[in-house]
Amino acid sequence: MAALSELLPVEAVLLDAPAADWREAVRRAGDLMVATGVATDTYTVEMVENVERNGPYIVIAPGLAFAHARPSPAVLGTGMSWVRLAEPVAFGHEANDPVDLVVGLAAKDASEHTAAMGALARLLADPGTARALREAPTARAVHALLAGGPAPSGGPESAPPRKEAAHDGGDHHKILTVCGNGVGTSLFLKQTLEGVLDRWGWSGHVTVEATDTISAKGKAGEAVAILTSREIARTLGDVGVPVKVVEDFTSEAEADRVLRDTYDV
């Protein structure tokens, strides 16, 4: 699988870009992916329509939007873009507005960019690296940081004691992370959750699966819980298992809290 720095080349980084509103901000991210040959202009339209249809769930953390749409013929290859705005714009998100950073994603399928999503999730989960990325003076400086990694932070909290019965035996649980398309924000949240589960020592007992809203309704019976954005939670409604809202998909501290609540740890 391609590395983050390969999927997000320096030519796909734009700093201090003007944008009058969220639509123009998303178009900026789309234009970069068109310029690097991974998508057509039609895909940019599809990214805007995704927000119009599903709401601002792509605003996955304070100030950060992860613009994408479903895989389609408008995607020519898997790639990403990075747009830092000159002035923040509102997407209509209850907790994470205004947005000053838009990361774009065009994906042929969910398999090609899994490793890159994991790398990006780790980078943005580290406060020092996230700050350095936001303050980088040039596109090359951003790309250099994306090619590296965060300093070890030890995580937001220590792992819980291994006293939860389901994880002392042979039981295996599944958690679903859900977004409108199953290849973008849900995959990002999956990576953050898996980082916490690894630190807890529970990764062998809990599987995290990223999926879309339609598939999630059919798979809900297999899961102990669904983790998603507030907008997607409203779309899902009652699916027979707990649906838990995560506001900041980059925060291992919030993922840790939600997991503790799910398992009463």
Cite the active site residues: 68
DSSP string, 206-227: EEEEEEEHHHHHHHGGG-SEEE
Taking each helix axis as running N to C, give the angle between helix 114-125 and helix 127-135, from 0 to 180 degrees, rounded to the nearest 10: 100
CA distance 166 to 162: 10
Q: How many residues does the chain have?
A: 265
The alpha carbon of 72 is separated from its chain's Cα centroid by a whole number of angstroms, namely 19
